[in-house]
Structure 1
Amino acid sequence: MDCRKKWRLPEKSLWFFTQILGLTENGRDGDSVYLRTWDDYEHHSLKLTAHSTSGIRRTALRAASQEALERRVKAIEAAGLGVGWADGDAGIGPTYRFTDPDGHDFELYWESEWYDPPEHLRPSLKNQAQAYPGRGVSVRRLDHVNFLAAATEPNGDFVRDVLGGRVTEQIRLDSGKISAQWLHFATKSYDLVYTEDWTGRNGRLHHIAFAPDTREDILRAADICLDNGVFIETGPHKHAIQQTFFLYVYEPGGNRIELCNPVARLILAPDWRPITWTEAERAKGQAWGLKTIDSFHTHGTPSAD
């Protein structure tokens, strides 16, 4: 949600991310606030910025090295989707900006400032980035981003062929069309997701996901959201795809937020074969029978209205 306009800071959204999710503020820049999950090694996990609408402005991905960054920039430019170099946000060095085929904005970077907590946030164990906040859900990390797209397959191809990701699971409809793809860059089973936008719009956000430590944390999160008037869209339940335990809520700005726990599911096989789900299998609903609600395919940000 990194947007540059002169609007008032969304205080209700800031309350949600700091008091409900438990993120920690780590600086301000004009109409923006930098927020971090407690075990993120970098300066911030999310940049919340005032704007006239909701949605995600840009998704930043860190390359594995300076050389890897330069290789990816060449591949992006060859694909014709490059925008150019820019100064990074606080804690981040030069970034290369580009779009995916659906029009979502991205940037790649390598240089990053490792977080040095102030004394009151310094953890007892030095292999932990920050002391556990004990506030709200207290999510450990930003887990993944799910984008809505008018057509999913071209975006999955772009992430695979240009950015170096791999498809781990996908949905293929009876027509042969791929309606959703889950992709990863390391051992975690997915980092980016593309889901078909039933409204036919381009460049919208489906959800941003944050991970607490346990499934019990997600059950507690449902009670926290209920007690604080946060709208619960669906869950808690377990996805069949990726087997993620989930809760979906709307933050006050209208963005869908997932609280997820993928248990310990990792992709360790270097020759992993993508799992393909059929339309009939998806019609059965989630792992324990909960049906997928219609808003899951239509609600996105910015609004389609």
Structure 2
Amino acid sequence: MTPPLGDIAHLGHVELLTPDLDRSLEFCTDYLGLTVDGERGDSVYLRTWDDYEHHSLVLTAHETSGVRRTALRASSEEALQRRVKELEAAGHAGRWTEDEPGIGKLYVTADPDGHEHALYWETEWYRAPDDLKPGLKNQPQAKPGRGVGVRRLDHVNFLAADVAANADFQQHVLGARPTEQIRMDDGRISAKWLSFTDKSYDVVYTEDWTGSRGRLHHVAFATDTREDILRAADLALDTGVFIETGPHKHAIQQTFFLYVYEPGGNRVELCNPLTRLVLAPDWPLTTWTEAERAKGQAWGLKTIESFPTHGTPPTA
């Protein structure tokens, strides 16, 4: 049975692995404008200024790059238990743990490709210290005066050996809605965008051309305006951050984007998708053909060679 839309409230946070924690942390604080909200062992917990929870991103020192955990907040304790029951019935049994600050018990499982997912309900609402208190009481934290000043964690794009199987997991086990996809001439689905909210997408699966499993394509942070994306490109130029492609506009989902690499090797997208919402409960799935995808981005920019091949951890 397809679970009801709403058992998963939203994307909570993502854990990135990095072989160079100090430089990755500098990128996150000085370039992205994230705020450190604690450390534990080899991990540093960071937050955007408009996310309401303890952390939006976890950076963990590791021998290589990639994504370890993607955390999804349930809409209630009852919703969490329903999803756990469905996960176990669908063959995705996991384990309970309490291993993150500011978060209660998490149910840790994995999608068919092996990407770790953690579901939780209990969470600590962020209380800004005096030096970070906002001027408006309905805002969690003052806007940072450094870097891009990203507003919130927006989405995560996984590389997958089988896009369709992983998208089915998100849709039929967790309750996401598919909004757009790419169907190749041979019929296979090479990418799919899904949403838990009224945003047009929260998670994405893109075909891994190497045939590997469990890799990351990118993690994305949203900005207030398109102009922030242009400023992010100038800041990258001034500070030596590697720009892979953009600024430009995607045809699929119409997101205004800039892709950069953080020092650990992970791809990070700066995006402005705030103008596009999926409000219709019967929103039709948009399918793009191989020929349409080959045209490139919305205004004609061709997709660069590294976009479908670069992922983390790197392959041989």
Q: TM-score range by the shorter chain?
A: over 0.9
C-alpha distance after superposition, 1:119-169 (max 9, x if no partner): 000001000010001210000000000000011000111100000001000
- Tell me which stretches of 4 or more aligned residues in structure 1 moved more than 4 Å: none
Pairwise CA RMSD = 1.3
**Contact map agreement 2:20 2:264 (CA 8 A) in 1:** no
- 1:211 is matched with 222
Which of 89, 95, 109 aligns to 1:98? It is: 109
Does the residue aligned with 2:25 lie in a helix, a strand or coil?
A: helix
**Contact map agreement 2:19 2:65 (CA 8 A) in 1:** no
Instruction: State how many pairs are aligned.
Output: 303
Q: Percent identity?
A: 70
The Cα shift of 1:265 comes to 0.4
Paired amino acid for 1:156: A
**Contact map agreement 2:54 2:126 (CA 8 A) in 1:** yes
The 2-side partners of 1:9 and 1:28 are apart by 16
Which of 197, 201, 210 aligns to 1:186? It is: 197
Does residue 248 (structure 1) correspond to residue 256 (structure 2)? The answer is no
The 2-side partners of 1:61 and 1:125 are apart by 27
The 1-side partners of 2:281 and 2:99 are apart by 33
The 1-side partners of 2:117 and 2:139 are apart by 28
- 1:12 is matched with 23
The Cα shift of 1:3 comes to 7.2
Which of 63, 66, 79 aligns to 2:74? It is: 63
Over 3 Å counting, the alpha-carbon distance change for 1:8 and 1:204 in structure 2 is: closer
The Cα shift of 1:263 comes to 3.6
- 1:221 is matched with 232
- 2:145 is matched with 134
**Contact map agreement 1:36 1:43 (CA 8 A) in 2:** yes
**Contact map agreement 2:16 2:57 (CA 8 A) in 1:** no
> Which runs of structure 2 are paired with 1:154-303 in the superposition (5 Å)?
154-303=165-314
The 1-side partners of 2:27 and 2:90 are apart by 38
The 2-side partners of 1:97 and 1:283 are apart by 38
Does the residue aligned with 1:156 lie in a helix, a strand or coil?
A: helix
The Cα shift of 1:224 comes to 0.3
Over 3 Å counting, the alpha-carbon distance change for 1:125 and 1:293 in structure 2 is: same
The Cα shift of 1:97 comes to 0.5
C-alpha distance after superposition, 1:242-293 (max 9, x if no partner): 0000000000000000000014100000011110000110111000000111
The Cα shift of 1:297 comes to 1.0
Paired amino acid for 2:158: F
The Cα shift of 1:8 comes to 8.1
The 2-side partners of 1:304 and 1:82 are apart by 28
Uncovered stretches (5+) of structure 1, i.e. residues with no partner: none
Paired amino acid for 2:277: L
**Contact map agreement 2:181 2:285 (CA 8 A) in 1:** yes
Over 3 Å counting, the alpha-carbon distance change for 1:88 and 1:63 in structure 2 is: farther
Paired amino acid for 1:293: I
